A and B are shown apart, each in its own frame.
Chain A
Amino acid sequence: METLEQQIKELIIDVLMLEDVTPADIESRAALFVDGLGLDSIDALELAMALEERYGVKIGDDPEQNQEIFASVHNLAAFVTENRV
């Protein structure tokens, strides 16, 4: 789990080309969108594609569920662990 969270942090930084952010700056349980890291809806689409490509997970269309999945790195890692192929 530790390493997967680390991998996802690196993926977020790479895919979204975040500047001045290192994996250590992203807290696993901190909010990713708006209030926390400040990601937005374009980032969400981009990140979903990258996760699907990298881990073979399918991200559905239930807004409430997705809000839950994308809430933090911790939640993303948990989702990937459960759903990866």
Chain B
Amino acid sequence: MQRFKPLSRLLIDPPPAERVVAFRRNGEVDAADLLSDVAMLSARLRATASGRFLLITDDSYAAAVGLLALSGSGGIAVLPPNRQSETLRDLAADAVGVLRDGSVEANGGALGGLPAIDLLGGTASDPVAFGELDRDAPLIEFRTSGTTGDGRPVVKALRHLEDEVVALEARFGAALPRDAKIFATASHQHIYGLLFRVLWPLASGRPFQAETLLHQQELLPRIAAADCAGLVTTPVHLKRLAASGGLRLLHGICAAVYSSGGPLDVETAESVGDQLGVAPYEIFGSTETGGVAARRRDIDGEIWRPLPQVAIRRRDPDGRLEVESPFVSAGDDLGGGRMRARMSDRIDSLPGSGFLLLGRVDRTVKIAEKRLSLPEMERLLCEHDYVAEAALLVLEVAGRRRVHAVVVPTEAGRACCEAESRRGFGVRLAEHLGRYFDPVMLPRAWRFVDALPRDSQDKLPVKSLAGLFADRTGSGRPRLPRVISEQRSVDALERQLEIPDDLAQLEGHFDAFPVVAGVVQLAWALDAAADWLGQRPVLAGLEALKFPMPLRPGRSLTLRVERSGRGPNLRFRLHDGEFVYAVGRAVLVEPEPEPEPECNPGRA
């Protein structure tokens, strides 16, 4: 008997009753349990209205039961991308019920009193006669963050998943023994996790872990206790696992590691390879297209190789990736079960169907593997009464990619900011966004300005936005003062600054009496000028340079840079209303104009 079962035939041609399907911290679930759980849930589903059900569980086995039962009874599973109340409220609006279990806290309010069915809570029912599952009926609805605004539904039929599972077995099956236990840190609420940790193991007869173990102190020993294992993970988790050195424990046990959801850095990929003796498979795809390509750095280097059944091509003029496969569920229908979709990723295609990824064309970014549309968040931010204009960008701070916000407050916003505090104001805006977005996506730092730093063509260069956070993005102690606010015009730039107490340049400048050296103040003035002008001024000389008062850390200051008479020369002044700390004129070499990249934080 063949071990691999197409998902549509799993219930009518099940594995042997005692075959372990899934396992938990305590206990295992075999094929007989699976059939009986699906039968019980099917019986309850047939007694209720058919339609869309929110599927909310942290237990991957329960999710599998829910999907199989829904497929058998003509229902659709809606997988919420997060558990925020606004998201659930939106999704609940056109659902007929909720399938859940004890692994998830009740969030009844947001679900608007939808009837809830416990995924695994049924009582023994009369035997249900299973039929072959319908491959073509809509079965799952994912929500993604769209590139142009609202999150949109992506609907998949069983055939999209079933065909991809066949392709996964064809591509990766040979390197993963039949009895490998599948562990995962990636959630089944997204397509990658659902396919790799639930559906592929289910079809291929490999037992999978129902719980998600995120802490390596528990995860690593549990994998080590298996004879043979596979690990389905994401770059954030894999980076931590690799950094701990603990993967060495799994050498010779963990036969394959999969990573998807965002780019995996080379160091992590190599470190995993060193520790396990086998480099991780990186998977590239999207909710709309399903899996597209994979690579192993030790074999493929930077080159992505399409999965079986997938054809790719580079679309000029912008070099976007076009994908054609039976797993694509949103795009042009080519007949024969195949669809074609254009992705927002730019590629270089190579001979022999491989390709290189060059970056995204839009402003959709990933934070901790979750896709975020910056324009959508900007739009929602601007809906707040306190916000006139907003621009978001992603910066890496202390090794983590985080959203940062530059906001032009309205009159009311300014009044609130003064009445409360800058932090209080930022917290209010974050709370507003928190109704729509996962907490990890919320802006980590805020800058409130009189106007967004647009250039002469009215574009918003990333460099200018990033310049407002320059104090946060270096490594180690801050080298730059923090920008509290700024006003810019064609003639002048004025910034309110705060000098951190732990400024790096204080090193060696008098422990007993720390002062900021004049040359450091001068460098700050030139940095500000570079942000303002869009390019670094080239100094021909300095005139009338004075540092009338020693500048101590911890102070709040105003830095003004303005054009000085004719030509490109600049005048600058650092003062606090009472004292002047630095003043002078910079004589500049006439600059060469340089084109600015447009605002595209997706590549930041």
> What sequence of 0s and 1s flags, for each residue 424-445 of chain B, a beta carbon within 8 Å of any chain A beta carbon?
0011001000100011101011
Is A46 positioned at the interface, with any CB of B under 8 Å from its CB? yes
What's the Cα separation between A52 and B406 when bound, in Å?
A: 34
B398 nearest CB neighbor, chain A only: A17
Given contacts A20-B421, A40-B442, A41-B439, contact A59 B472 (CB under 8 A): no
> What sequence of 0s and 1s flags, for each residue 39-53 of chain A, a beta carbon within 8 Å of any chain B beta carbon?
011100110010000
Which size bracket describes the interface of A in this complex?
10 to 19
Is A54 positioned at the interface, with any CB of B under 8 Å from its CB? no
What's the Cα separation between A19 and B482 when bound, in Å?
A: 10
B58 nearest CB neighbor, chain A only: A63
> What sequence of 0s and 1s flags, for each residue 204-243 of chain B, a beta carbon within 8 Å of any chain A beta carbon?
0000000001110111000000000000000010001000
Q: Which residues of A lie under 8 Å from residue B430 when comparing CB positions?
A: 38
Q: Tell me which residues from 448 to 467 in chain B have a Cβ below 8 Å from any Cβ of chain A.
A: none
Q: Which residues of A lie under 8 Å from residue B422 when comparing CB positions?
A: 20
A21 nearest CB neighbor, chain B only: B423
What's the Cα separation between A21 and B426 when bound, in Å?
A: 12
Is B380 positioned at the interface, with any CB of A under 8 Å from its CB? no
Is B116 positioned at the interface, with any CB of A under 8 Å from its CB? no
Determine which of B397, B421, B426, B434 lies in contact with A17 in the assembled complex, contact meaning CB atoms within 8 Å: B397
Q: Tell me which residues from 318 to 355 in chain B have a Cβ below 8 Å from any Cβ of chain A.
A: none
Contact call A60/B215, Cβ cutoff below 8 A: yes
CB distance from A49 to the nearest CB of B (A): 8
Is B110 positioned at the interface, with any CB of A under 8 Å from its CB? no
What's the Cα separation between A83 and B213 when bound, in Å?
A: 22
CB distance from A52 to the nearest CB of B (A): 9
Is B379 positioned at the interface, with any CB of A under 8 Å from its CB? no
A-B pairs, top 7 by smallest CB distance, nearest first, are A61-B215, A61-B218, A40-B439, A20-B423, A40-B440, A19-B445, A42-B440
Apart from A20-B426, A38-B439, what are 12 other A-B pairs with CB-CB below 8 Å?
A16-B398, A17-B445, A19-B423, A19-B445, A19-B482, A20-B422, A34-B439, A38-B430, A40-B439, A41-B440, A42-B236, A60-B217
Q: List 25 A-B contacts (CB under 8 A).
A: A16-B398, A17-B397, A17-B444, A19-B423, A19-B426, A19-B445, A20-B421, A20-B422, A20-B423, A20-B426, A34-B434, A34-B439, A38-B430, A38-B439, A38-B442, A40-B440, A42-B236, A42-B368, A42-B400, A45-B240, A58-B217, A59-B217, A60-B217, A60-B218, A61-B214
